[in-house]
Structure 1
Amino acid sequence: GMAALGARGVSILFASGDSGYQPQQKFGAASPYVTAVGGVFNGELRQGKLQADSLTTSGFAASPHNKAQPWQQAAIASYLNTSGLRPPHIDPSQRAVPDLSAYDDDINVVINGASSSLSGTSAACPIVAGMIASINDALLLAGHSTTLGFANPFLYANQGAFFDVTRGNNRGIAAVPGYDPLSGLGTFGTLTYGKLKAAALKAAARAEALRAGSVEV
């Protein structure tokens, strides 16, 4: 289902939720074939220090069908080598949530023509979806025949493009340097979108050259 849609060029994203650390992640964010989005904000008193949202639902999947896939395994292994608050029992073979985060505090939205505000991962997820849609648009405008589709392998391969969030916890998992199942790979810095777009265009060009037989593996 999810994997097949990704292979057809469809990017599927889920908000991880706003229930804090959970020992068992739920469908659909727990699926290894979707991109799970957490939240970050400017601290409890908005003191300007970016930190992970304490309500972001995070942890590891419980279903035997939701195993950590190759693109996430190294990130989980790196996380387990860090120090900091973590759950007492972790199965590193399971898929970890979220994959990345976006700002989720008091986002201005327009609903039925009326201005309002929205917070939580339901606000963060559309921001990431918009970023992926913009990259897909850039790929098509450049004449490439494929889009990102299932984005996680690409996102984990470009971890350095993200702003690493090292502050905050959600009563079960603390933010640490590098990947953590609280803010994921991190969030967007000023150069994140440009770096990801450039990486996507480069990868698409190489893939098409390989298919044409003009690049040696």
Structure 2
Amino acid sequence: MSNRFSEVRQRQLRILEALLFASSEPLSLAQIAPYLSVGADLPALLEELRRHYSLRGVNLVRRGDRWAFRTAEDLEFLLRREEEETRPLSRAALETLAIIAYHQPSTRAEIEEVRGVATGKGTLDLLMEAGWVRMRGRRRTPGRPVTYGTTDAFLDHFGLEGLGDLPGLEELKGAGLLSSRLPSTLQIPLPFSGELREDEDPLAPGDAGEAADELDRD
């Protein structure tokens, strides 16, 4: 019986390994589960695979509630190649991204209140096109403004398991990445599930287009 159990577990680990290697994007438990036998202890399998790869050239990492293989951090410099030059984020985009990350879910008005200046349509468009910010829902307040939050792609790009791994704001300001005018009331968030809060409603069909139209009119 123990040999049979071992064989089944090894097959599950191999399937899990193959799925993660083949995927170009991090996978959630819900995406992986259909490929494994009923009753498979997926969290335990992932942890076992993570330990197995912990000292190898690629590591199994968690990004929010998703998992992926990524180059080991100490070897990333070996794989850098000449890349197409991309326009760096503006100060406005960096500050907007930071406010959303640390204060999400945030409305555009809340972002502007923290920054003390208006947020242009192009800034939010740029962050959404990069896949780092998404429209989450609508706040249950007059006007029902759209709320914004970060994505798993944001975590993956910046090498974070969860929002609790974000650096302190003082570190970002000291590195010159954020303006010193941003208030100290911004706090490092607890790991964020992405679920809607009690003061939010889900986006209805067509809401995303309406929200984009609202930005266009500003």
More helix by share: 2
Q: TM over 0.5, yes or no?
A: no
Larger radius of gyration: 2
Give the TM-score band, short-chain normalised.
under 0.3
Query: Which one has more relative contact order, counting CA pairs under 8 Å at least 6 apart?
Result: 1
Q: TM-score, structure 2 length as denominator?
A: 0.22
